[in-house]
Amino acid sequence: MIRKVSVVASVIALGGVMAPIPLAGVGPTVTVKNTLGIARPSETITLSAADVLAAVPTDDIRKIHVRDAAAGGELLTQAVDVNDDGKFEELIFQVDIGPNETKGFELSAGERVVHKRDDFKAYGRFVRERRDDFAWENDRVAHRMYGAALETWAQEPLTSSAVDVWTKRVPRLIINDWYLLDDYHKDNGTGGDFYSAGKTRGCGGNGLWVGGKLYPSANFRESRVYANGPIRVMFDLVYQPWDAAGTKVSEVKRITLDAGQNFSRFESRYTFEGGPKEVTYAAGIKNNAGSTTANSRERGTLRAWEPIKNVPGNLGCAVIVDPAQVVDFPQADGNYLVVAKVPAGSPAVYYAGFAWEQTAQVPGGVEGWDRDVANVARRLRSPLEVTLAK
């Protein structure tokens, strides 16, 4: 029996969930096919928990084990509760897959999987002690966004829904260490906070775009964590209503980051006074001194490349949207922007991420960053083909 499953590739595909291609199999197996002629490391495979439990009967999705059929060896898995209802709806694991390669994975039931500290490659949390930051990271990048307490901080108040960048050098998780030591504006060997987002969009912040003007929210008021490693961190930030050219609008922003990836997935669900409306939004990158930029309507990409003040190595930042939704690439309020339009009732979905030259994540300078961004966009447009067969 063949069961169709939901799949996510390169975090989550831009166009939504693909329809898997049925593939005959013997025993509980997952077949993954890469149709692109490029290698795809750290791709996340997302299986429906209901489908998995039907193929491998057990009383707990956390008892499911995934094994590489060819190489042997068990893979790291994570059960995900996508709506905080106390039930796990998804099971995820990651694969490295070569150009035009097909791989098989075997499912079995055993003892409940209990993760070790060293397994964790993705993590995030609300940081009340730092005036309501929400910070998140994986083994490659780290970010934070600003909460309510920062708006009224006596020393340096800031109202901004920017996405801040933390340039970490090491693959281990560093958020808690940096906040504990409170010395993260200096590189002590693990990187540091050298990017100033301020009131701009930073590296991937968004806002509504109305009449050629940007209308961003203020700082978030609530946070809700749905997944917190070892593979995926996923959380919501809740924004109170603000005025966008005469219309009150509120926002719930869901952010997802997977291990091994430089790009987070952003999904903004807007609620408009008076009912659903067509959404035109802009996501962007701060126009810092010395930066250069390039965009592609065909790929739905906007990228910047810039020096970082007082530290070596350039920073590449990029935003990727569905090419079919692209409207324009304007500049406004100190930002490079990509404007996109989605139908009424649909969320605004885009990806934003960065890489720092000092980590060797972007060999080849700006040309290398351009290749990386183009490849991420290709992967998002062409999800892996995944089949679960019993």
| Number of domains present in the structure of the chain | 2
Q: Are residues 238 and 327 in the same domain?
A: yes
Q: Are residues 27 and 167 in the same domain?
A: no
Q: Are residues 306 and 242 in the same domain?
A: yes
Instruction: Give the model's confidence band at 57: pLDDT under 50 very low, under 70 low, under 90 confident, else very high.
Output: confident
The reply to whether 377 falls in a domain is no
Q: Are residues 147 and 255 in the same domain?
A: yes
Single pTM value for the model: 0.93
The reply to whether 368 falls in a domain is no
In percent, the amount of the chain with pLDDT more than 90 equals 90
- Give the pLDDT confidence of 212-238 residue by residue, as tens digits: 999 999 999 999 999 999 999 999 999
- Give the pLDDT confidence of 8-27 residue by residue, as tens digits: 443 444 544 333 333 333 45
Q: Are residues 199 and 339 in the same domain?
A: yes
The reply to whether 366 falls in a domain is no
Q: Are residues 72 and 8 in the same domain?
A: yes
247-258 sheet: strands from edge to edge? 222-228, 232-244, 247-258, 263-272, 348-356, 314-321, 301-307, 292-296
Residue ranges in 89-237 assigned as alpha helix (H): 175-181
Three-state secondary structure readout of 14-27: CCCCCCCCCCCCCC
Q: Are residues 326 and 300 in the same domain?
A: yes
Q: Are residues 202 and 61 in the same domain?
A: no
Q: Are residues 70 and 148 in the same domain?
A: no
Does position 366 have pLDDT exceeding 60, yes or no?
Answer: yes
Which pLDDT belongs to residue 221? 98
Q: Are residues 179 and 234 in the same domain?
A: yes
Tell me, what CATH number does 231's domain have? 2.70.98
Nearest Cα neighbor of 83 from 234, 220, 230, 240 is 234
Please give the Cα distance from 34 to 381 (Å, whole number): 12
Tell me, what CATH number does 56's domain have? 2.60.40.1180
- Give the pLDDT confidence of 143-185 residue by residue, as tens digits: 999 999 999 999 999 999 999 999 999 999 999 999 999 999 9
The reply to whether 364 falls in a domain is no
Q: Are residues 69 and 182 in the same domain?
A: no
Q: Are residues 205 and 306 in the same domain?
A: yes
Does position 288 have pLDDT exceeding 70, yes or no?
Answer: yes
The reply to whether 97 falls in a domain is yes
Instruction: Give the model's confidence band at 4: pLDDT under 50 very low, under 70 low, under 90 confident, else very high.
Output: very low
The reply to whether 6 falls in a domain is yes
The domain of 134 spans 122-359
Q: Which residue has the tokens 């309020």?
A: 333
